[in-house]
A = this chain, B = another copy of it.
Amino acid sequence: MIINLDMQSELPIYSQLVYQIIEGVASGELQLGEALPSVRNLAADIGVNLHTVNKAYTLLKQDGYIQIHRQKGVVVNPDGMPPVTDDFLNKQRQELRPIIAEALCRGMSKEELSTVLSDIYEEIKHPY
């Protein structure tokens, strides 16, 4: 899987890592139970610090996206992805709110927004 980092982004590198792995699962490029590179290997591959990869993996584990086994290494959670909890929905709304407010302000209609959302949805699901 190809990881694409923007070193100038305001987003921390570990967050970018988290999102790229989540997107990998969302697109099907990463299967449930599939092994991920070790912290050490991934860090070397993408040229970032060990701590950075570690932080990303730890966050992914906390949210239930991956499992970290002492010896076997890191795998995408074979029991499936975390469910849509109320906490998640609240967080999602908080993140969407300012984006939608800005769009509304600039005159985008609900339909236009829906189209953008739908576009991205399909783009992630079928990245080929």
Contact = CB atoms under 8 A, between A and B. Distances in A.
Nearest to A104: B26
B19 A98 contact: yes
Interface residues of A, number: 49
B117 A69 contact: no
Contacts of A72: 7
Contact of A101 (B23, B88, B105): B23
Count of chain copies: 4
A69 B68 CA distance: 31
B118 A114 contact: yes
A91 to B, nearest CB: 9
* Most chain B beta-carbon neighbours within 10 Å: one of A103, A114, A116: A103
Contact of A100 (B88, B101, B103, B121): B121
A100 B114 contact: no
A13 B118 CA distance: 31
